[in-house]
Chains A and B, each alone.
Chain A
Amino acid sequence: MDDYIVEMLNITKRFPGILANDDISIRLRKGEIHALLGENGAGKSTLMSILFGLYKPDSGVIRLRGAEVHVANPNVAGELGIGMVHQHFKLVQNFTVTENIVLGLEPMKGLVVDLRSAAERIEKLSKTYGLNVDPWARIEDITVGMQQRVEILKMLYRNAEVLIFDEPTGVLTPQEIDDLMAIMRNLIAEGKSILLITHKLKEIKAIADRCTVIRRGKVVGTVNVADTDEAAMAEMMVGRAVSFTVDKKPREPGGVVLEVEGLNVLSSRKALAVKDLSLELRYGEILGLAGVDGNGQTELVEALTGLRKVQSGTVRLKGVDVTRASVRARIASGMAHIPEDRQRRGLVLDYSMEDNLVLEVYGERPYSRGGFLDRKAIRSHAEKLMEDFDVRSGEGAVEVARALSGGNQQKAIVGREIDHDPDVLVAVQPTRGLDVGSIEYIHKRLVEQRDRGKAVLLVSLELDEIMDLSDRVAVISHGSIVGVVDPAAVTEADIGLMMTGVGRGGSGGPEVARGSAGKGVEK
């Protein structure tokens, strides 16, 4: 008989209007990495929230080592040895690693917190699992990859046996992903069991033993990863065959449409985030900008689109200097922007969809006249766009944007920006957090834009996406372009290496790479 550590049997959970989990059963063997695969909204998070004690199931039982348990809240989950690494880390930025880890169960020596002994224990745990974390470092000084390890240590410090990882690789570089996988193998070797929530098939193939696929709240099946391939798992997840490759014909790019020269931009913390950066974007091409999160992409994009002041350097759009032009002026001269953060930037969440779909053009005819909005024109514009871009919402154009799923919100933004018929489309993480079906669709629209002779600057942390879509790839590191390469002529590993700051005939980025990303280079 199999040795199951966690069994969730016949779990059903209903929310007003939807059946999030419909009779789901999933069994985690001791010492295995079990992937939970599904599209956005398939019910993965709900299921894990039930296991973690955030929700109560309407029916079904949870068994831990064969005995039925009631996980009333996350504290109980912790006592039972269930820990979770959340997608968005929950760390206090200006605390040290140790302070963060002991938060909530501070060891006391009389009236003072005994950080020293805690740090010793953390150091030991860190050694055992090959985490390489400095217990005295401040969170704000360490890389995102390191912060994730702190989250892992937090669970280990609390003696967790079952570790839940929620989309753990989204924020990591290719090297950091490799490191994380090594860590996960160490955890398994030491007898832990892992539940891995993800929608990245490649990672499942690389590390998981078994995979349970969920679609629309139901289990489609559980497979042995060794016996299947990515295409088969994708089909199980989406319910139809999915094409992974983007259909893209070769195309000769035209003249330069966007020209960046010697650009210097400060970050919000007043540090130089973009350093002497130069870049050219041509008509009829997709230029990918690859880089580790936080290497100046955000500041560069904000400087290009007019959201952030430039220290020095120039940005020329169609030959005109727009370095100090307003956001509105740039939109008028043919720039569109799919922002990184759709909820903070891309949409006014409390506005209806129809109001959001005229977010940049509400003041123009036919949407307004003499200072007053033309509701009819706004409505019909919204209805057309939502149909064209397959944006689904409960109450159509009048539905408030907040009520739409992430994928539909994103499709609406992509639709709105492409509808401006821009010469330059700055697309930042256009498919972040979307399901396979939506990704396929948005990729198609981006390529279409290129095929119509327009220019696309694609900024993404997903290297696959950059490699698949781009005609040229510019690699950014520490705020400078370290090289521009032809994606057909290099491997992901080459680009991954460049992302750490090792130049390749480029403008010569900084020699020293930070944190764990750097270790990949030294090896």
Chain B
Amino acid sequence: MKGLRDLFTALAAVILGLLAGAALMWAIGANPVEGFSYLFRGGLMNVERIGNTLATATTLTLTGLAMAFAFRTGLFSIGASGQMLMGGLVATVIGLSLHLPKWEMLALILLASMIAGAVWGFIPGYLKARFNVHEVVSTIMLNWVAYWIVYYTIPAHFKANLETESARIPDYASLKVAWLTDLFHGSFINLGVFVAIVCVVITAVVLNRSVLGYELKAVGFSKTAAEFAGIDVEKSMALSLGISGALAGLAGATFYVGYAVNMQVGVMPSQGMDAIAVALLGANSPIGVVLAALFFGVLHSGKGFMNAMTGIPPEIGDTIIAIIIYFAATSVLFTRLFDGLRAKLRRQH
């Protein structure tokens, strides 16, 4: 029942977002049908573009999972950007410093970026548990701490020709593999997609089937009742943010040593913020997150094509995402509508 209602809510938000996008296109004198057809073709029209959409969705899925995990425990983390940066930085540093066989290298990179993200998530978790520092404040601050650490570290120790980016990640340290790149005709797709799938499954199992998930969700729904049940609320919050950070750290690896070929400095990754929308639209469920990430992936990789073919500014794509977020955030309206419709149907039968 809940699943069906969430799906209804998400679809309603998406459709209204697309309609609003159509209205905007129409308002600037463009043809919405044409605009949307290029937007979706840009994301899906050939194997390479589908590959790029999947690569974009990979990072979004992982950051979205990170958000959903924290939200489920009742914590409003917005630290995925910083955790991504830390995960990406550690991955880049390892990739540029060590020389190991590819599989050992990748295992090490994934593990290290996960730990880096987990640490970056655990810090606000600990501050919340120990000193009741609000996680919104501490995660934002840590985002900037990570930003400046990258800003210092990369140009100081890992640059090549340009001051603003690291040296190129060698092939043996990249999540890109030839067979996958070839399969998708040279797209950005990389092994991260499998990492994301594994993480979705693990997250779903932990949340729905495990004792840990039971405890974390209980804390998320009602701290007072969790306390009554003998659950260590503070430990749960710190742990939850740590796990959330680990997922975002992995997202960083899939982006900086998978999607990209090097690490730029001075850029706060937008996937960290988009993740909030992904989690919201996906109703904080792992499978919902995947679907939402895929949808946003299409919009992200299609907006450039739309712009090139029709002259509609790519910002329309971002605007549609923003409007969908608004509708998803006001989902209680759709929930009521859904319940109302259901009650009406029931009465007729």
Shortest distance from the beta carbon of A77 to any chain B beta carbon, whole Å: 25
A54 to chain B minimum Cβ distance, whole angstroms, is: 18
A268–B300 CA distance with the chains assembled, in angstroms: 50
- Spot the interface stretch: A135-143, A204-212, A349-357: A349-357
B3 contacts the other chain (Cβ, under 8 Å)?
no
Q: How far is the CA of A394 from the CA of B324 in the complex (A)?
A: 34
B221 close to chain A: CB less than 8 A: yes
Q: What string of 1s and 0s marks CB contacts (under 8 Å) between A359-380 and chain B?
A: 1101100001001110100000
Among A17, A341, A349, A373, point to the contact of B211 (Cβ < 8 A): A373
A-B contact count (CB 8 A): 67
Smallest distance from the beta carbon of B29 to chain A beta carbons, Å? 45
- State whether the Cβ of A284 lies closer than 8 Å to any Cβ in chain B: no
- Which residues from chain A contact B346 at a C-beta distance below 8 Å? 16-17
A327 interfacial contact with B, CB 8 Å: yes
A344 touches B222 (CB 8 A): yes
Residue of B nearest to A305 (CB): B228
| B229, CB-defined interface residue at 8 Å | yes
Knowing A348-B222, A351-B218, say if A371 contacts B211 (CB, 8 Å).
yes
Question: In the complex, what distance in Å separates the CA atom of A373 from the CA atom of B222?
Answer: 20
Known: A347-B225, A348-B221, A350-B221. A373 touches B230 (CB 8 A): no
B224 contacts across to A, CB distance below 8 A: 341, 344-345
Contact A349 B221 (CB under 8 A): yes
- The CA of A406 and the CA of B211, in the complex, are separated in Å by 28
- Contact B214–A346 (Cβ < 8 Å): no
Interface size bracket, B side? 20 to 34
Interface string of A309-351 (1 = CB under 8 A from B): 0000000000000000011100100000101010011111111
Q: Are B211 and A359 in contact (CB under 8 A)?
A: no
In the complex the two chains form, is B210's CB within 8 Å of A372's CB?
yes
The reply to whether B221 and A373 form a contact with Cβ atoms under 8 Å apart is no
User: Quick check: A17 and B230 within 8 Å, CB to CB?
Assistant: no
The interface bits of chain A over 133-169 (1 if a CB of B lies within 8 angstroms of the residue's CB, else 0) are: 0000000000000000000000000000000000000
Q: CB-defined interface of B204-219 with A at 8 Å, one 1/0 digit per residue? A: 0000011110100110
Question: Is B96 part of the contact surface with A, judged by Cβ < 8 Å?
Answer: no
Residue A488 CB within 8 A of the other chain: no
Could you tell me the distance in whole angstroms from the C-beta of A302 to the nearest C-beta in chain B?
10
Closest beta carbon of chain B to A369's beta carbon, Å: 9
Residue B214 contacts which of A307, A337, A373 (CB distance < 8 angstroms)?
A: A373
| Residues of A with C-beta under 8 A to B212 | 371
Q: Which of B222, B229, B232, B347 contacts A360, CB < 8 Å?
A: B229
A335 → B minimal CB distance (Å): 11
Candidates A345, A363, A371; contact of B225 at CB < 8 Å = A345
Q: How many Å from the CB of B317 to the closest CB on chain A?
A: 35
Q: Which of A326, A360, A373 meets B209, CB within 8 Å?
A: A373
* A362 near B214: Cβ-Cβ < 8 Å: yes
Report B276-312 CB contacts with A as 1/0, cut-off 8 Å: 0000000000000000000000000000000000000
B185–chain A nearest beta-carbon distance, Å: 42
Residues of B within 8 A of A346 (CB): 225, 228
Minimum distance in angstroms from A488 CB to a CB of chain B: 34
Q: Is residue B163 contacting chain A, with contact meaning CB distance below 8 A?
A: no
Q: Given known contacts A348-B221, A349-B221, A351-B221, is B210 in contact with A307 (CB within 8 Å)?
A: no
CA distance A306 to B78 in the complex (A): 33
CA distance A291 to B266 in the complex (A): 64
In the complex, chain B residues whose CB is within 8 Å of the CB of A371: 210-212
Distance (Å) between the CB of A211 and the closest chain B CB? 34
Q: Mark A217-247, 1 if CB is under 8 A from B, else 0.
A: 0000000000000000000000000000000
Nearest CB of A to B179, in Å: 35
Minimum CB–CB distance from B210 to chain A (whole Å) comes to 5
Q: Which of B221, B226, B230 contacts A326 (CB 8 A)?
A: B230
Given the interface pairs A363-B211, A368-B211, A372-B209, the reply to whether A327 lies near B228 with Cβ below 8 Å is yes
Q: Does B315 contact A (CB under 8 A)?
A: no
**Residue among A337, A339, A350 with max Cβ neighbours from chain B (10 Å):** A350
Compute how far the CA of A331 lies from the CA of B225 in the bound complex, rounded to whole angstroms: 15
Closest to A368 in B: B211
Kindly supply a per-residue 1/0 record for chain B positions 149-188, scoring 1 wherever the CB is within 8 Å of any chain A CB and 0 otherwise: 0000000000000000000000000000000000000000
CB neighbours of A348 from chain B (8 A): 218, 221-222, 225-226
Taken residue by residue from 221 to 241, chain B's Cβ proximity to chain A (1 for < 8 Å, 0 otherwise) reads as 110111111101000000000
Q: Closest residue of chain A to B208, judged by CB?
A: A373
Contact of A331 among B211, B226, B230 (CB under 8 A): B230
Which of B209, B221, B230, B339 has the most A CB atoms < 10 Å from its CB? B230
**Which residues of chain A are within 8 angstroms of B232 by Cβ–Cβ distance?**
326
Q: How far is the CA of A331 from the CA of B229 in the complex (A)?
A: 9
User: B98 within 8 Å of A by Cβ?
Assistant: no
Can you list 22 contacts pairing A with B, beta carbon distance less than 8 Å?
A16-B343, A326-B230, A327-B228, A328-B230, A337-B228, A339-B228, A345-B228, A346-B225, A347-B225, A348-B226, A350-B222, A351-B221, A359-B228, A360-B229, A362-B214, A363-B211, A371-B210, A371-B211, A372-B210, A373-B209, A373-B211, A373-B214
Q: Which 7 A-B pairs have the closest CB atoms?
A: A328-B230, A327-B230, A16-B343, A345-B228, A359-B229, A350-B221, A348-B225
Binding site for B on A (CB under 8 A): 16-17, 306-307, 326-328, 331, 337, 339, 341, 344-351, 355, 359-360, 362-363, 368, 371-373, 375
